Chain A
Amino acid sequence: MTDATMGQVRPERRLSVNWVDLGPFLALAALMVVGFLINPDFLAINNLTNVVTRSAFVAIIAVGATFVIASGGLDLSVGSMAAFVAGVMILFMNALAPELGTSAIPLGMLVVVAAGALCGLANGAITTIGRIEPFIVTLGTMGIFRALITYMSDGGTIPIDRSLRDAYRPIYFGDVLGIPVPILVSLAVAGAGAFILYRTKFGRRCIAVGANEEVARYSGVSVARIRTLAFVIQGICVGLAAICYVPRLGTATPTTGVLWELQVITAVVIGGTALRGGRGHIWGTIAGAVILEFIANLMVLSDFVSEYLVAAVQGAIIIVAMLVQRLSK
């Protein structure tokens, strides 16, 4: 029995391969190989950067969603919230532009992050103080945010002031050392997210709250505060995504961010985070977001899927990706 007891038990090294963490990246690699076989253009550097850049919004929002889901919540309002805060940011920048010129842009960025945080705070506070299921709360705010952007735009378009357009464009279209800015932003957000989730007290408590709310409560963790903060982080991520999104088309419209919430949740789940909470895989989430965008890209680049069946094939690939992960456990 002695060999099985305490002192001799060696601390486990993190070097051992963790298949759950690796799963989404394997799936991504497999997808790249399949993509190349289908159409060699797939691996063209231009195509790859385009696709990864496009995935940035969903990836950034999904990092926030990883916190919400890991802590046992769910946020359906992110797509509408993105449209709403993007609209707020544009209106704010446009109002300041005549006086401040391009300095309106950084101020607008601060405003959009603050707006996102407030929206997240609203979601979190209603959920925790009101003791209502996050599914229902965010279903409600999803409608509210969507209606607000529609109202703000009269159902049409909120365009960014022409004088700001060119100065702001590089945030989506620019690059640093050849890497597009949105990719850098999403990596930075993921890095920060991973740090918070894995290395801080808050992250640990987030996981505990998601794994078992009662255990967390009995351990002296303030469940309401942790849940609310997770929603605030989600809101901040939505704000950051909006910063990258607006310069692409220069507008916010009532159709901005439609169905992003589903893409975000799918990315998180493909990334290995369980919907029931208690686990969070930030880097897997990023891989999940990229996988989703690659699948869409591949559907266009391949010739053998009828346009009518694209959605079916996408759905099937997502299910297969999940099955591969399940089996690799």
Chain B
Amino acid sequence: MSRAAALEPVAPLAAPAVLAVRGIGKTYGANTVLSEIDLHIRAGEIHAVIGENGAGKSTFMKILSGHVAPTTGTLALGGRPVAFSGPAEAEAAGIVLVHQEILLADDLTVAENLFLGRELTRRGMIDDASMRRLTRERLASLGSSVSPDAIVGTLSLADRQLVQIARALLESHQLVIFDEPTAVLTSEEVETLLALVRQLRDAGAAILYISHRLDEVEALADRVTVLRDGRMVGSFDGAELTQADMARLMVGRELSTLYPPKGAVAIGEPRLEVENARVPGFIEDVSFTVRSGEILGFGGMIGAGRTELFEGILALRPGRVGALLVDGRAVRIARPIDAIEAGIGYLTEDRKGKGLLLDEGMAPNLTLSALSRFNPGLVLDGKREEAALGETIARYDIRVRARGVKAGQLSGGNQQKLLLAKVMMTDPSVVVIDEPTRGIDIGNKSQIYAFVQELARAGKACIVISSEMQELIGICDRLLVIRNGRIAGELAGEAMTEDAVVMLATGAAGQAGTRGETQA
């Protein structure tokens, strides 16, 4: 760590900046979310901005792209001061934003999406031929061979992302902002995207790259600006910074205790046994057993069907199991409620879409799966619900300004804790957690890991599905890797390494370069 401690913020160079940010800050009411940001973004440079959730990354990005007006400070574009009243103005000035979510019309073709709202016309009529030709050229220049006539809804996420980037780059651009562009991509697709970002840089554009994936930042960034609690920790030379340095700068403390120590929990009897699970289109044949006190991980490529495996087992989507035993008793799960009653709790990966009612308060969310517990007679007992919420807030360290806030207003970490508490309300003996820490900052991550281990210690069987290999390796006792609809292999103890997981997940162990097969 001595080398990291010696790191010094780099003074802005004298070379002219595409965008100069001076003293930018943003205050909502009494709440300051961003203050005193100073940085220069230069042409031909990839400038990464990193920070924990809530550090102010997205506010900063929204200010640059014209979605939000700063409270203090100035922006200068090409040496001239600018103030944007909206995203359209920022775009006109040459600042384009590639959104994290894919914002395309699924039912339209690639070409139609690319030119949506700025269609080319010829003598007053839509000029399809030119638009399709331009689309083909643009996509080709990004190294893609997607047809301009393909319907966007039929494309893979990576291709859609590419279309979205092509759309952003259609306008003349001096500065391109990428907001977590790899969140939806598989690791090979990430490589392609990183190459694309480099290509844009080499063509002379200034790139602002916002991410919390430190490996990408390390691989990509020429310069890294770290934000913490709305303030700038500093701007650093990308080549000098390791991932560990970045993590330390982001968190402001050492992260040696991110994962709880293993082996503290005794593993007991089988709690869930699944034989010959089949989910049409995803899973051919999977059998596994998870025991009391055990944390079993499921790894594999995105799209390998891990989520679908459990949705199929739990009757959330069509699927079949040969046999399913909970604590040795055979159970038939025909409807989602059967799974809950059998003692299997499932935390969905899609917290916002399938996990929580975002417009409802915390209490109704907490009790939704277990309403019978709060229904002594004919009537729901509001006091009992409130008491349960109080316990939950304390037990899971949910941080809110008021109890009445809606679930949608909570941060990702607090939502995840609420969702965990909601599933635990049904008192399951088996807990399946799908992507336990997606979109959650490091502080909350370590708490979630601790909760999972506590569940194991309480004798529950835990199943963790994750796309983050380090996480799986960090908390699981045993790991099953899914590939081609089957279990490609099992890893435990010292054998659980990233290399081993990747080999099993991609089939590289047997035949190299068959990644495509594992795609859904």
Contact = CB atoms under 8 A, between A and B. Distances in A.
A–B touching in complex (CB under 8 Å): yes
A264 to B, nearest CB: 24
Nearest to B385: A204
A4 interface: yes
A214 to B, nearest CB: 4
A225 to B, nearest CB: 10
Contact of A11 (B316, B390, B398): B390
Contacts of B337: 220-222
A141 to B, nearest CB: 27
A217 B355 CA distance: 10
A212 interface: yes
A200 B378 contact: yes
A278 B406 CA distance: 13
B393 A216 contact: no
B399 interface: yes
Quick one: which of A12, A200, A212, A279 has the most chain B CB within 10 A?
A212
Contacts of B335: 220, 222
B316 A218 contact: yes
Contacts of A214: 350, 353-354
Interface stretch (B199-207, B237-245, B364-372): B364-372
B371 A9 contact: no
A5 interface: yes
Interface string B320-340: 000000000000000111011
A325 B356 CA distance: 27
Contacts of A4: 399-401
A199 B376 CA distance: 12
Interface residues of A, number: 30
B375 interface: yes
A208 B364 contact: yes
Contacts of B358: 212
A91 B72 CA distance: 76
A207 B365 CA distance: 11
A13 to B, nearest CB: 10
Contacts of A1: 399
Contacts of B339: 220
A6 B397 contact: yes
Interface string A194-207: 01000111001101
Contacts of B117: none
Contact of B357 (A10, A11, A208): A208
A200 B316 contact: no
A220 B393 contact: no
B372 A201 contact: yes
Kindly state the interface size class of chain B when it binds its partner. Answer: 35 or more
A200 B397 contact: no
A195 B378 CA distance: 10
B368 A216 contact: yes
A253 B316 CA distance: 47
Quick one: which of B336, B355, B402, B426 has the most chain A CB within 10 A?
B336
B255 interface: no
A221 B370 CA distance: 10
Quick one: which of A5, A11, A205 has the most chain B CB within 10 A?
A11
Nearest to B371: A201
Interface in A202-255: 204-205, 207-208, 211-212, 214-222
A7 interface: yes
Interface string B371-411: 11001001110000010001001100111111110000000
Contacts of B422: 219
B355 A218 contact: yes
B171 interface: no
B403 A200 contact: no
B226 to A, nearest CB: 21
Nearest to A201: B371
B348 interface: yes
A199 B364 CA distance: 12
A217 B357 contact: no
Nearest to B425: A219
A118 B393 CA distance: 45
Given A216-B368, A218-B348, A11 B403 contact: yes
Given A200-B379, A214-B354, A216-B368, A7 B360 contact: no
B359 interface: yes
B84 interface: no
Contact of A218 (B336, B380, B399, B404): B336
B236 interface: no
A221 B380 CA distance: 16
A212 B357 contact: yes
B379 A220 contact: no
A201 B399 contact: no
B346 interface: yes
A174 B368 CA distance: 44
Quick one: which of B337, B364, B371, B422 has the most chain A CB within 10 A?
B371
Contacts of A7: 390, 393-394
A219 to B, nearest CB: 4
A207 B364 CA distance: 10
Given A6-B393, A218-B348, A204 B380 contact: yes
B519 to A, nearest CB: 24
B399 A6 contact: yes
A9 B391 CA distance: 12
B368 A5 contact: no
Interface in A242-291: 278-279
B380 to A, nearest CB: 6
Contacts of A222: 335, 337
Nearest to B339: A220
A253 B355 CA distance: 49
Given A208-B368, A221-B368, A5 B353 contact: no
Contacts of A211: 357, 359-360
Given A220-B339, A222-B335, A6 B368 contact: no
Interface of A: 1, 4-7, 9-12, 195, 199-201, 204-205, 207-208, 211-212, 214-222, 278-279
Q: Which 7 A-B pairs have the closest CB atoms?
A: A6-B393, A220-B337, A12-B404, A220-B340, A219-B369, A201-B371, A214-B354
Given A7-B390, A207-B364, A218-B355, 5 more contacts: A6-B390, A11-B390, A195-B379, A199-B379, A204-B364
10 contacts: A6-B393, A11-B403, A201-B372, A201-B375, A204-B368, A208-B357, A211-B359, A212-B353, A212-B354, A215-B354
